[in-house]
Amino acid sequence: MPLEAETLKAAEILSASQHAVALTGAGHSTPSGIPDFRSPESGLWTKADPMVVASIYGFQWDPQAFYDWLRPLAKQMMEAEPNAAHIALAELEEAGVIKCVITQNIDELHRKAGSQNVLELHGSVRQATCMRCRRTVPSTELWPAFVATGELPRCPTCDGLLKPDVVLFGELLPMTTLVRAQDEAERCDAMLVAGSSLEVYPAAELPTCATQHGAKLILVNYEPTHMDARAAVVIHEDVAAVLPQITDRVKELRGIT
């Protein structure tokens, strides 16, 4: 089916929905210049294995190695701007179509684009927590100095080591967020998956849960996923090109100018 027919079908599903949710992964932020750190092509694997360095064990064993690995990524996230796909989802939320964005990304770009109801399955770089006294520090007070000097971020109260509020390998997902995401997957009648290969738990299971509860699935991702056969619409294209087209169509169908 040509792309135009697919985007129209996706728009029709979203426009007719009562409770649509979006699920986004690393591919949603790559057009903003954020590398997918699980991908060997990202360049982040050349010096260190993130599965070791970016694990909770790696962090505790050698925090300097963790922060050395994080430094270029933190710089990219500090400077990154939302792309057209982030803006499209924020517009769909403002239009009352998308009720919630569930994301695997930690880069804050959905919030920067204006999305209000964001469930961050892997936490975010918005703040860091002291490993000693549990004080939280906003990253705006943290990243600029860290990116400039590379020195370990320390707690302003007790000088303990700060850990970004992101879920490292080997850590549990934030339970409240996970429960809310599963609840959204059960109650939604349409799920738009954008830029996720659906390979990592729980993102891999949320669309399954949604379809089991009767939701229609729209998949926009470069690569095929294990859910392609069960989706109502599958588009193997760039999210930043496709999502604005879908959003424009939804607005037309709903009479929003």
Binding region for Zn ion (CB under 5 A): 130, 132-133, 135, 155, 157-158, 160
**Coil vs helix vs strand at 130:** strand
Q: Which CB, 131 or 147, lies closer to Zn ion?
A: 131
Q: How far apart are CB 155 and Zn ion at their closest, in Å? A: 3
Tokens 């809310």 correspond to: 180
Q: Which CB, 96 or 156, lies closer to Zn ion?
A: 156
| Residues designated catalytic | 122
Closest CA to 65 of 57, 53, 73: 53
With the C-alpha atoms ordered 199, 202, 205, 206, is the resulting torsion angle positive or negative? Answer: negative
Q: Which residues, in sequence order, are CB contacts of 62 under 8 Å at separation 6+?
A: 53
Q: How far apart are CB 158 and Zn ion at their closest, in Å? A: 3
Residues 237 and 3 sit within 8 Å (Cβ to Cβ):
yes
Q: How far apart are CB 146 and Zn ion at their closest, in Å? A: 16
Residues 135 and 58 sit within 8 Å (Cβ to Cβ):
no
Distance of alpha carbon 105 from alpha carbon 121, whole angstroms: 8
Q: Which CB, 59 or 220, lies closer to Zn ion?
A: 59
Q: How far apart are CB 143 and Zn ion at their closest, in Å? A: 18
Residues 25 and 196 sit within 8 Å (Cβ to Cβ):
yes
Q: Which CB, 123 or 160, lies closer to Zn ion?
A: 160
